[in-house]
Chain A
Amino acid sequence: MKEKLKNQKLLVLGIVFMILFNFPILSIVNHDTKIKGIPTLYFYVFTIWILFIGIIYWSVRNEEQEINKDE
């Protein structure tokens, strides 16, 4: 049961970020402006990327802790 839930969680995570990393979402930031001196598009891609890694870390870490508790 827990296993299936984890699969689904990760699948949803993958799909959500697949959308965030693609067009048409990308076209929202695809214009010639800058945030803190960095082109908006570049800024967006790296920020979302960091966020993505953070969320994977968080969801997998929770999982590990639960497993440790069970053991």
Chain B
Amino acid sequence: MNSVVLILTSLLYLVFLFGVAYWAEQRSAKGKSIVNNPYIYALSLAVYCTAWTFYGSVGRAVTNGIEFISVYIGPSLMMPLWWIVLRKIIRICKVQRITSIADFISSRYGKNATLGVIVTIICILGILPYIAIQLKAISNSFLIVTQPDGEINTQHFFIGDLAFYITIVLSIFTIIFGTRTIDSTERHEGMVAAIAAESIIKLVSFLLVGIFVSYFIFDGISDIFQKASHIPALQKVFVFHSEQDTAGWFWHLLLSMMAIMFLPRQFQVSVIENVDEKHLNKALWLFPLYLLLINFFVIPIAMGGVLLFPNHAINSDEYVLAIPLKFNQPFITLFTYIGGFSAGTSMIIVETIALSVMISNNLVMPALLKSASLQEKLAGNFSLLVKTIRRTSIVLILLMAYLYYKTIAEHYSLVSNGMVSFAAVSQFGPAIIGGIFWKNGTQKGALIGLLVGVFIWFYTLVLPSMVGAGFFPQSIIDQGFMGFSALKPLALFGLEGMDSISHGLFWSLLLNIFCYVCFSLNSYQSSIEHNQAVIFVDIFEYSEQVESPTIWRGTAYFSDIQLLLSNFLGEKRAEKILKLYAQKHKIRLTSVIAEPQIVSYVEKLLAGIVGTASARIMISSVSKEEKISTEEVISILKSSQSLLSANKELKRKSIALEKATTELKEANEILQKTDKLKDDFLSTVAHEIRTPLTSIRALSEIVFDNPEMDLNEREHFLGTVVKESDRLSRLINQVLDLEKYESGKQKLILEDIDIQEVVKDSIDALYQQAKEKEIKVIFMPDRFTPRFEADKDKLIQVVVNLLSNAIKYCEPQKGEIILATHYAEGCVYTSVHDNGAGIDKNFQRLIFDKFFQAEDQTIKKPKGSGLGLAISKKIIALHNGQIWVESQVGKGSKFTFSIPVV
């Protein structure tokens, strides 16, 4: 394939990536971030899959079978634990504004600058080879596609060497991506979007090759295995053979479990670039799924490659490209090349950005800031300085990686180089995991553990590779250092029978952990260290209540603090940020001496820009700090925590109390009201009883005193006495009745009834009365009303009551009463309509109360007990119905009751 076409495609691809990044940044500026999305987050994690995955896995599968997959199963197994471990790390980084793994370790162990330097150096040493093999893979893939038959010539250096130009282009690209703005959160939305896009491209292109090989060249996966089992070399790798294989499997799982957490690029995408902890939920299964998919066709391609290129005609790392080339598939070849290119570039971009942040924040800045005179000279230019340091370090990292590739990496395969890098970052495991779960881990322990671990890593894993490249004599490997056989790099202390990676990992990690624990137990923490330890370990307790407790005491001038911040963010932004913070926390900004809260807030902001250790140095340079003892630190943390929880508890209790008070008040009001009602009722009843009693007594006295009374007159008097006694007993009956309803003792005797019968019976009962007053009574039944369950006698009582009221209030001769029934919407309605006096609007609701009429005695002469409507209302209520009146004074009134038909 023409190399110009390939170069153009590669450049176009980079432009496309930049377009994606630019688009994402524009969206984020408008507040519609696409990176704030669990799918993008999961895809960005796939930066784990580099050129090693894309090309190297196949090569590894040819010689070792399924062993390569341990590197992908390890991270998958880590996923459930991520929810516990990584979420904690994310929270810590957000609260403490930590922006790199070096910052994390240095911050945990007392914001110690030395630790930051050591971690940064380990990262550079460990990761350089890894970046180098990406360069190697990219330039090799280019050469394979352009000169499939030619011998690959990699002897040139710099000018005339393709890899050199690739290095230059990628440096420029990374600088544009990673250092456009300096922000205190150190998040790169554009970069994350580009990485997610690259993840999709590498997955799709690898699946495409896989499907092409498995289903177009061969007849399915089982066909490949069928054919492969005839070749002894392939048949051999179908199973694990020795104990070495089985032990190696375990160590590789462990190694990759740590790599997925501690590789600087993984830390960058999974922790620093994380927008929302909840995104982890989806990533927990999406990321392993991605790993599964991208590895699914590795073995078929590997086996297929061996079958297609017998006798090792082609390096097995190159099968992915060589197979589509052999079958003349220019499109698949090009797409695969781009897939590999994206796998390599994504790793390079993220890894170099992460490393450059570490170099500027943990290596260069603390060193520069140590000198007071330098600090003064640089004042005002910090922002530019940080950018320059980062840009320079990106170029330097890539150039060093290039040199490493040309001198050493040439001799080794993709996978073995990568494994060495994994082992390097695994050394952070004890310090980080210990640091977030064990408060007693100390600076000394972490420092010594790391140094010892890295030394052994170097001795057992890097030294042998340098021997291979001719930097050290072969005798070190064969006879051991200075001839001590116990010090053989590949069989340390006589341990043999493990592969070099497992062997190196075992010894380095073992001694690392041992030193970390032992020295931690035998050393003391300074106050700041203990302080950080408590915050890190109990982060979930503190961060949910307080943004972060203030543990700083001393004096600093506010103007100094503000100036410090302005140096990085510019005057306007610094002022704005401080004002916002002061408003939120109700702090005065006018005082000359800065409040401790402001000082620690500014320190945190600076930490986001230049790293915790540098921020520490800068703050202490402008302030007089007082030491806080460990006890004080704990008490500050505890008091801010317990104060908050006490406050919450108090609030909760006072709310409950308030509620109880209002409830009591309401209950009391109701009680008072019923009490008054009872009094009123009693006095009304007494009054009602006294009226007939008085007339009975008066009449009987007259009869008693006048024995010679006219017989007719006497009869008339006695008749009145009988009538009044009847009224009295009726009244007492009704009072008893009402009492029964009110106390709930009255039960209904339900039977199947027809409302029309009820009305007819009622009319019959009062027919005589109406006739006496010459009042017309008309019944207009609906054609159909359903039968329903009700107490017939009680309903007759109601209708009789309404009808007798109507008769009472109608004028003789002119009166006309219309009774009607109808059915609508599940209710039976019965109404009694008269053309009598009518009821004033103000009384329409009151008439259903007991003795309403009694109160109005001065106005109207009572014609009934005043209890009839109250009892009717109770009866209807017992039937779940309603009763009401519509009336106009002078035009008559209409009483209606409705009963629901079930």
Decide whether A and B assemble into one complex. yes
Residues of A within 8 A of B (CB): 6-7, 10-11, 13-14, 17-18, 21-23, 26-27, 30-32, 34, 36-39, 41-42, 45-46, 49-50, 52-53, 56-57, 60, 63-64
Contact check, A23 vs B225: say whether CB atoms are below 8 A apart. no
Q: Which residues of A contact B69 (CB under 8 A)?
A: 45
B288-345 interface with A by 8 A CB criterion: 288-289, 292, 296, 299
Tell which of A30, A50, A57, A60 has the most Cβ of chain B within 10 Å.
Answer: A60
Please tell me the number of chain B residues within 8 Å of chain A, measured between CB atoms. 35
Binds A, one of B71-79, B179-187, B479-487, B488-496: B71-79
In angstroms, Cα B80 to Cα A60, docked, is: 10
Are B239's CB and A41's CB within 8 A?
Answer: yes
- Complex contact A56–B79 (CB within 8 A): yes
Given contacts A14-B77, A27-B246, is CB(A42)–CB(B238) below 8 Å?
yes
In the complex, how many angstroms separate the beta carbon of A6 from the nearest chain B beta carbon? 7
Known: A14-B77, A14-B81. A53 touches B225 (CB 8 A): no
Write out, one digit per residue, whether chain B residues 669-707 have a CB within 8 A of any chain A CB (1) or not (0).
Answer: 000000000000000000000000000000000000000
Q: Which residues of B contact A46 (CB under 8 A)?
A: 292, 296
Let me know if B288 and A11 touch, CB within 8 A.
no
Q: Which residues of A contact B76 (CB under 8 A)?
A: 49, 52-53
Determine if B80 and A10 form an interchain contact, defined as CB atoms under 8 angstroms apart.
yes
| Bound form: Cα–Cα A52–B239 in Å | 22
Q: Check if B37 is an interface residue, CB within 8 A of chain A.
A: no
Q: Is the CB of B84 within 8 A of A60?
A: no
B620 within 8 A of A: no
A39 to B65 Cα, complex, angstroms:
11
Q: Which of B195-228 contact A (CB under 8 A)?
A: 220-223, 225-226
Q: A64 contacts which chain B residues (CB < 8 A)?
A: 281
Known: A41-B240, A50-B292, A57-B285. A21 touches B221 (CB 8 A): no
Of all chain B residues, the one with the shortest Cβ separation from A23 is B246
* B755 interface hit (Cβ, 8 Å): no
Q: Which of B61-106 contact A (CB under 8 A)?
A: 66, 69, 73, 76-81, 83-84
Most buried by B among A13, A18, A32: A18
Whether B225 lies near A56 (C-beta < 8 A) is: no
Q: How far is the CA of A31 from the CA of B241 in the complex (A)?
A: 10
A49 CB, min distance to chain B CBs, angstroms? 6
**Does B284 interact with chain A (Cβ within 8 Å)?**
yes
Given contacts A41-B240, A42-B66, A49-B76, contact A11 B81 (CB under 8 A): yes
Q: In the assembly, what is the distance between CA of A39 and CA of B228, in Å?
A: 11
- Check B884 for interface membership: any CB of A closer than 8 A: no
Docked pose: A66 CA to B226 CA in angstroms: 48
Please state if B281 and A23 are interface contacts (CB–CB under 8 Å). Answer: no
With contact pairs A10-B81, A63-B281 given, residues A49 and B288 touching in the complex (Cβ less than 8 Å): yes
- CB-CB under 8 A from B222, the residues of chain A are 34, 36-38
Using A22-B253, A46-B292, A49-B76 as known contacts, list a sample of 19 further A-B pairs with CB atoms less than 8 Å apart, ordered by residue number in A.
Answer: A10-B81, A10-B284, A11-B81, A21-B253, A22-B249, A27-B240, A30-B240, A32-B235, A34-B222, A34-B229, A37-B222, A37-B226, A38-B221, A45-B73, A49-B288, A53-B292, A56-B79, A56-B80, A60-B284
B43 to chain A, nearest CB (A): 16
Shortest Cβ gap from A48 to chain B (Å): 9
Tell me whether A53 and B221 are in contact (CB under 8 A).
no
Chain A nearest Cβ from B60, distance in angstroms: 14
Q: Is B158 an interface residue (CB 8 A)?
A: no
Any chain A CB within 8 A of the CB of B412?
A: no
B157 interface residue (CB < 8 Å to A)? no
**A12: nearest chain-B partner, CB-CB:** B80
Say how far B398's CB is from chain A's closest CB, in angstroms: 35
A-B contact pairs, 17 of them (CB 8 A): A10-B81, A10-B284, A14-B81, A26-B246, A27-B246, A31-B239, A32-B238, A34-B225, A37-B225, A41-B66, A42-B299, A50-B292, A56-B80, A57-B285, A60-B282, A60-B284, A63-B281
Of the residues B73, B225, B250, B292, contact of A39 by C-beta under 8 Å: B225
Which residues of chain B are near A57, meaning CB under 8 Å?
285
Instruction: Report whether B250 and A22 are in contact in the complex, using a CB–CB cutoff of 8 Å.
Output: yes
A36 neighbours in B (Cβ, 8 Å): 222
Complex contact B66–A53 (CB within 8 A): no
Choose from B73, B223, B249, B299 the contact partner of A37 (Cβ within 8 Å): B223
Mask of B723-755 contacts with A, CB within 8 angstroms, 1/0: 000000000000000000000000000000000
B83 touches A7 (CB 8 A): yes
A10 touching B250, Cβ below 8 Å: no
- Shortest Cβ distance from A20 into chain B, in angstroms? 10
CA–CA, A49 and B78, complex, Å = 13
A53 with B238: CB separation less than 8 A: no
Contact call A60/B285, Cβ cutoff below 8 A: yes
The answer to whether B80 and A13 have CB atoms under 8 Å apart is yes
Closest 3 CB pairs of A and B: A37-B222, A10-B80, A14-B80
Contact B80 A11 (CB under 8 A): yes
- Smallest Cβ distance from A16 to chain B, in angstroms? 9
- Given the complex, which residues of A lie within 8 Å of B78, measured CB to CB? 14
- Residue in chain A with minimal CB distance to B69: A45
